[in-house]
Amino acid sequence: MAETPPTFSLDFSLGGDLPVNRMGFGAMRITGDGIWGPPKDRAEALRVLQRSVELGITFIDTADSYGPNVSEELIAEALYPYPKNLVIGTKGGLLRTGPNQWPINAKPDHLKEALEGSLQRLKLDRIDLYQLHRVDPTVPFEQTLEFLQDAQEEGLIRHIGLSEVTIDQIQQAQKYVEIVSVQNMYSFDNRKWEAELMYCEDNAMAFIPWYPLGGGNLKAQETLAQISEKYGASPHQVALSWLLHRSANILLIPGTSKVKHLEENYQAASIRLSEEDYETLNQAGAQTFTG
């Protein structure tokens, strides 16, 4: 990919027909510890959601497994009836057996139950973006894809996305349905899924990095801290800005349970890195391309 220009656009069309702000919000952290149960401060969680819309965020990412159910319920409580430009993406395919426990279940019968529950909790007739949370190694992928295909044909799903998938899996899925987004772990110093990002870019798919704030590369983090000082910003803000510069198809979904942190994250969209600083970060993080 060519070197980044010094500016970037925050506009992206998800699936070609849903305009969204590339600085979105991930609603995982508005739940309790271990992404389990209700938040410690319910009022603050609701304020976070309301403030996100006030800031101009038009894409919120959640899942039935966040809580479980809690995140979706809070989104509806805080924001329904939804602004016309708000796109809510949710996910199915994981079970919850306790705090920080995420067994995979992408069997059609479970996905049917999960999708119906998400529609009810979010008070929607159709999910704008429904994402398979994980490919289930115990279930033929074709069965999962056939369910998603059927649900889309029934009008319950507008667009379909995948999470933690390889290019081969994306291509397999494309034989059944149009894939408009891929949500894989990715950050400036964790590039394991670099090839998948490039595939999404080449095919006009959104790439939604989760855990976007660092992959544990200490040397790269030191470089990040040094550059952040130049911009009067936090390392987290510059890490998010780098992602916005990285590719025009990246949608960010940093999450938090605090309004102050939400506002700090959103300010990352106003940071314009110089080409030199972008490339310095690019090289510093490149150590983990095959991590």
Q: List, by residue number, the catalytic residues.
A: 66
The span from the CA of 16 to the CA of 64, in Å, is 25
For residue 231, the Cα-to-chain-centroid distance in whole angstroms is 26
All residues at 6 or more sequence positions from 235 whose CB lies less than 8 Å from its CB, including other chains: 214, 221, 224, 225, 228
Helix (H) or strand (E) segment spanning residue 13: strand 11-14
Helix (H) or strand (E) segment spanning residue 206: strand 206-207
Structure tokens, 265: 């994250």
The span from the CA of 163 to the CA of 175, in Å, is 17
The string over 76-93, giving b where at least 16 C-beta atoms fall within 10 Å of a residue's C-beta and e elsewhere, is bebbeebeeebbbbbbbb
